[in-house]
Amino acid sequence: MRESAQASPPHPFPSGSRRRRRVPRAVRAVASAALLLPLVAVGPAAGQADGAGQAAPGTLQREFGAAAAKYHVPQSVLLGVSYLQSRWDSHGGAPSVTGGYGPMHLTDAATALAGTPHHSDAGEDARGDLARPRAAARAAARAAVPAPAALPPRLRTLSRAAGLTGLRPAALRESAAANVQGGAALLAAEQKRLGLPLSKDPADWYAAVAAYSGAADTATAATFANDVYDVIRRGERRRTDTGQEIALAGTPRVAPRTEQVRRLGLGTLAAAGVECPPTVACESIPAPYEKLEGKDYGNHDIADRPASQKVDFIVIHDTEGTWETTIKLIKDPAYVSWNYTIRSGDGHIAQHVPTKDVAWHAGNWYVNAKSVGIEHEGFLAKPDAWYTEEMYRTSARLVRHLAQKLDIPLDRQHIIGHDNVPGTTASAIRGMHTDPGPYWDWAHYFELMGAPFVPTASPFSGMVTIAPDYDDHKPVYTGCAKPGEPCPPHGSGAVRLHTAPRDDAPLVQDIGLRPDGSPSTTDVNDTGARASTGQQFAVAGQHAGWTAIWYLGQKAWFKNPWWAPAALGAHGRMITPREGLGEIPVYGRAYPEKEAYPEGVPVQEVTPLPYKLAAGQAYVLGATQPSEYLWATTYEPAGHRIIRGKDVYYEIQFGHRVAFVKASDVRIRPSNW
């Protein structure tokens, strides 16, 4: 089940300089404000790959130069803005989350279709606690898409670009060259509107760049502009999704005239009490904590973390809805909650629940009690309704800030997707969410956090870190639009797992998802045979360019040839059943033993999942977890209790989702043993 919704200096850490591979990697990026939804698919744009070939390398670079000269915009400014919006990709002419098209993300939101609201699955219990299950989630009404004239200007920049250039809207949507001209015309027009010269000096364009974000407040506009100038200072080089080699030479000494932002006359943010780094634009939009009818309340729990419980996880979600829809839902006291939402178009962040409190977002109460949840405006099954580079950057800065504040390691055992959260019991497994999905670029995300995935052992070690080349790795997924129908080819950070080292071998089974033992599928929401970038596994075998890992209690093979590796050698600690045990149970939560519960608090059963970890198998050890249960069923937090037991658990990477095993059932050994 997929998820369904909901003035700063340049950042001080590596801005996305990615390790240079044999083939440069790409990411899907961009969107420029909020309101729209699963978007209309469009055929390949002019000059793009269409099955008959690609435009000659260097064509797009020349188009940037020509547009910059025609509209008297410094080429570095034009390239920098485009990089933050799309990383110079064209996405086959498909629109972004907020109806933006092409390398310059010109918005035409009126073409979008109404989408599914956040957490809309009937009866969903994002709280994940059987002691007090939520009532069925309130159905959010779908808002009708307004007429183009009723949309805010930030969602209809394409029509303005058409007026400035004389180009047809269809050309601006479908032709990368026309799109770049449209972006240059918008920047030049903004510069003139502000009474600033069409200077050759990039430093003179700060206010126009800030305005291009479409932000309504000074902090968000300035954050966007700061990131553009960070790209200009550092420089970038990459190959786009159409095979175009684009280069922006760095200008380390450029010093933008940041005082220009005052000319925009934008508003300020309600930022009191937010827990964000100073390098992002963050506002407070609190989730209401109200008593509802009867004994019910919502939509989170008042707590005192980390004094009460340590926060061990940051959970990455996507909204499956627009910014506006998501913000409406977080304000509903009868709905569920999450801690932060990040807007795609400009990277703007809203905090809803303090990190000390427990938001209801993961569908697993143990994980909720020990995590922070971050929603990102986007859609997992719309590979070209892309996330902007600016959203990846602001999100990465937020996560790094929270990890430092809450003492959370920057690794994939602690920074997890919603699709990595385990079900609490066998009956809950099939209802767990699958966002942010196989198109989220974990490698780029961690590089932006300053924690890239690198080899820590030889390729022949007993442990691997999954790390396919995102741009070139394009496994076939189905079900993005219709069941069984292939999704558009797209980069992915997930590898597919087979029962034998052959492409035609069946995919491995996930008996939790399919108790009948049938194999997993290629559906975009089927996580049963999928390992994602950054996840680490014990090696179970090697054969002719294939590697086997221990996964869900079985050997699972993925293609990993030396000339195009999909994994990195790693070393670390592993667990295996202790001597004398033929198999051990696996759990979806680390709850205390029954003797730990005081009178008045019902015992929560320590119920194993329907998987077995057999002798001879090994799994990578993540964190050591105390056995804890947060008893929170009353509106007044004075009635909450934290039950701690003597049992200790280990978090392991068991399948695509993490799991827990009892420390008393296993022994720890090094990966090279």
Note the maximum CA span of the chain. Answer: 80
Q: What does the DSSP 8-state code read for residue 243?
A: S
Question: What does the pLDDT average to over 102-120?
Answer: 67
Amino acid making up residue 667: R
Residue 294, C-beta contacts closer than 8 angstroms, at least 6 positions apart: none
On average, the pLDDT of the chain sits at 87
- E strand or H helix at 225: helix 218-234
Predicted pLDDT of residue 130? 72
Q: At 74, list the tokens.
A: 């410094």
Given a cut of 60, is residue 187 above it in pLDDT? yes
Arithmetic mean of pLDDT, 145-153: 69
pTM: 0.89
**223 in helix, strand or coil?**
helix
Q: Judge whether residue 221 has pLDDT over 70.
A: yes
pLDDT top residue among 441 and 49: 441
Residue 117 has pLDDT above 50, yes or no: no
Indicate if the pLDDT at residue 578 is higher than 50.
yes
Q: Over pLDDT 90: what percentage of the chain?
A: 75
Return d(Cα 551, Cα 567) in angstroms, integer. 15
User: With 80 as the cut, is the pLDDT of residue 346 above it?
Assistant: yes
The 10s digit of each residue's pLDDT in 424-467 is: 999 999 999 999 999 999 999 999 999 999 999 999 999 999 99
Distances (CA, A) of 187 to 107, 208, 624: 14, 6, 52
> Does residue 92 register a pLDDT over 90?
no
Six-digit token string for 230: 């960070």
Q: State yes or no: pLDDT of 58 exceeds 90.
A: no
Q: Is the pLDDT of residue 593 over 50?
A: yes
| Alpha carbon distance 104, 569 (integer Å) | 38
Residue for token digits 């035609």?
504
Query: φ, ψ for residue 339 (rounded to 5)?
Result: -85, -40
Amino acid at 212: Y
580 and 665 in contact (C-beta within 8 Å)? no
How far apart CA 573 and CA 474 sit, in angstroms, is 31
| Residue 648 in this model has a pLDDT that exceeds 70 | yes
Answer yes or no: are the C-beta atoms of 534 and 467 closer than 8 Å. Answer: yes
Output the DSSP codes for 419-432: GGSPPSSGGGGGG-
Q: DSSP readout, 484-515?
A: TPBPPP---SEEE-BSSSSTTSPBPB-TTT-T
Residue with tokens 């963050």: 282
| 3-state secondary structure string across 124-187 | CCCCCCCCCCCCCCCCCCCCCCCCHHHCCHHHCHHHHHHHHHCCCHHHHHHEHHHHHHHHHHHH
Q: What is the pLDDT of residue 384?
A: 73
Q: Which residues contact 555 (CB under 8 A, 6 or more apart)?
A: 499, 540, 541, 548, 549
pLDDT digits (tens, 9 = 90+) for 68-81: 999 999 999 999 99
Spatial separation of the C-alpha atoms in residues 181 and 175, rounded to whole Å = 10
pLDDT at 41: 31
Higher-pLDDT residue of 394 and 92 is 394
Looking at the domain 269-438, which fold is it? Lysozyme-like (3.40.80)
For position 54, what pLDDT does the model report?
55
Question: H helices then E strands: how many in the chain?
Answer: 11, 28
Instruction: Reply yes or no on whether the pLDDT at 5 is more than 50.
Output: no
H or E element in which residue 372 lies: strand 371-376
Residue 289 has pLDDT above 90, yes or no: yes
For residue 109, name the pLDDT band (cuts at 50, 70, 90): confident
In this predicted structure, what is the pLDDT of residue 295? 76
Under the banding of pLDDT at 50, 70 and 90, the label for residue 31 is: very low
pLDDT number for residue 668: 97
Contact 494, 525 (CB under 8 A): no
559/566 Cα distance (integer angstroms): 7
For 502, residues 6+ apart whose C-beta sits below 8 A from its C-beta are: none
Query: For residue 565, is the peptide bond before it cis, meaning its omega torsion is within 30 degrees of 0?
Result: no
Question: Taking residues 120-134, what's their average pLDDT?
Answer: 64
pLDDT band at 37 (very low <50, low <70, confident <90, very high): very low
Residue 415 has pLDDT above 90, yes or no: yes
pLDDT at 84 > cutoff 60:
yes
Report the pLDDT averaged over residues 577-595.
97
Cβ neighbour number for residue 186 with a 10 Å cutoff: 24
Q: How confident is the model at residue 55 (pLDDT cuts 50, 70, 90)?
A: low
Averaged pLDDT for residues 639-650: 96
pLDDT at 112 exceeding the cut of 90: no
| H or E element at residue 68 | helix 59-71
204 CB-near residues (< 8 Å, 6+ apart):
196, 197, 257
Per DSSP, the three-state class of 624 is: strand
Average the pLDDT over 335-346 and give the result: 93
Residue 51: per-residue pLDDT: 32
Question: Angle at which helices 75-86 and 218-234 pack, to 10 degrees?
Answer: 110
Burial letters 143-177, b for 16+ CB under 10 A, else e: eebeeeeebeebbbbbbbbbebbebebebbbbbbb
Rounded-to-5 percentages of helix, strand, coil across the chain: 25, 20, 55
* Distance (Å, whole) CA 427 – CA 605: 14
Q: Which of 243-247, 318-322, 501-505, 562-566 has the lowest mean pLDDT?
A: 318-322
pLDDT of 105 strictly over 70: yes
State the pairing for strand pair 349-351/282-284: parallel
Instruction: Using the structure block, give the residue that is written with the tokens 């990890």.
Output: 403
Torsion of CA 440, 444, 449, 452, to 10 degrees: 120
**Residue 484 burial (CB count, 10 A):** 9
Region 395-421 average pLDDT: 97
Which has more confidence, 134 or 94? Answer: 94
The secondary structure element, H or E, covering residue 415 is strand 415-417
Read off the pLDDT band of 120 (50, 70, 90): very low
Give the pLDDT band of residue 379 (cuts 50, 70, 90). Answer: confident
Higher pLDDT, 130 or 35: 130
What band does 48 get if pLDDT is binned at 50, 70 and 90? very low
Residue 324 pLDDT level (bands cut at 50, 70, 90):
confident
Locate the domains of the chain by residue range: 59-116+144-264, 269-438, 575-670
* pLDDT-based confidence at residue 196 (cuts at 50, 70, 90): very high
| Euclidean distance between CA atoms 579 and 582, whole angstroms | 8
Domain 59-116+144-264, second-level architecture: Orthogonal Bundle (1.10)
Phi-psi category of 479—alpha, beta or left, where left has phi over 0 and alpha has psi -120 to 50? left
**Which of 11-15, 376-380, 416-420, 594-598 has the weakest average pLDDT?**
11-15
Cis before residue 133, ω within 30 degrees of 0?
no
Q: What is the reported pLDDT for 168?
A: 97
- Tokens describing residue 357: 């409190």
Q: Is the pLDDT of residue 358 over 50?
A: yes
DSSP codes of every residue in 276-301: --TTS-EEE-PPP-EE-STT-EESEE
Listed range (13-22, 88-97, 370-379, 585-594) with the worst mean pLDDT:
13-22
Residue 56 pLDDT: 72
Residue 332 in contact with residue 320, Cβ under 8 Å? no
**Rounded average pLDDT over 257-275:** 95
> Average of pLDDT values for 106-120?
60
User: What percentage of the chain exceeds 70 in pLDDT?
Assistant: 87
Q: Is residue 530 within 8 Å of 496, Cβ to Cβ?
A: yes
Angle between helices 389-406 and 218-234 (to 10 degrees): 100
